[in-house]
């Protein structure tokens, strides 16, 4: 008695075996496998939504600051002093930076 007698005929079909092997390869071993497409891309989408929210908040803050700069001259002076470290002719400017701490 040969062992091939006990194997069903549909398991001996080379086309079916090739298709099954291809499906296993695409689901588990390929670069775009099931893990990447389902889990990893959801995590990436979540991170992109967080960054989108952050940048939208930054845009709103910048627009508000721009509106203030267009209207108020004192705001322009404050902005120039803080961002560009500008000073008047009779002033001295001292810049104190926070120390860098590393672990």
Q: Spell out the domain ranges in the chain.
A: 7-83
Q: Residue 62: its pLDDT value, please?
A: 93
pLDDT per residue over 50-93, tens digit each?
999 999 999 999 999 899 889 988 888 888 888 888 888 888 87
pLDDT band at 1 (very low <50, low <70, confident <90, very high): low
Q: Which residues contact 65 (CB under 8 A, 6 or more apart)?
A: 79
Residue 90's pLDDT is 87
pLDDT above 70: residue 5 = yes
The answer, yes or no, to whether residue 102 has pLDDT greater than 80, is no
10/3 Cα distance (integer angstroms): 15
Q: What pLDDT does residue 103 have?
A: 61
Q: In whole angstroms, give the CA distance from residue 6 to residue 37.
A: 39
Percentage of the residues of the chain whose pLDDT score is greater than 70: 97
In the numeric block, the tokens 């775009």 are attached to: 32
Place of tokens 């390929």: 30
């Amino acid at each position: 008695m040969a062992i091939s007698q006990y194997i069903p005929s549909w398991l001996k079909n080379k086309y079916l075996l090739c298709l099954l092997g291809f499906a296993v390869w695409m689901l588990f071993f390929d670069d775009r496998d099931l893990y990447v497409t389902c889990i990893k891309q959801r995590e990436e989408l979540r991170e992109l939504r967080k960054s989108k929210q952050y940048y939208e908040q930054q845009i709103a803050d910048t627009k508000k600051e721009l509106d203030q700069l267009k209207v108020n001259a004192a705001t322009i002076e404050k902005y120039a002093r803080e961002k560009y470290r500008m000073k008047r002719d009779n002033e001295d400017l001292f810049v104190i930076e926070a120390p860098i701490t590393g672990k």
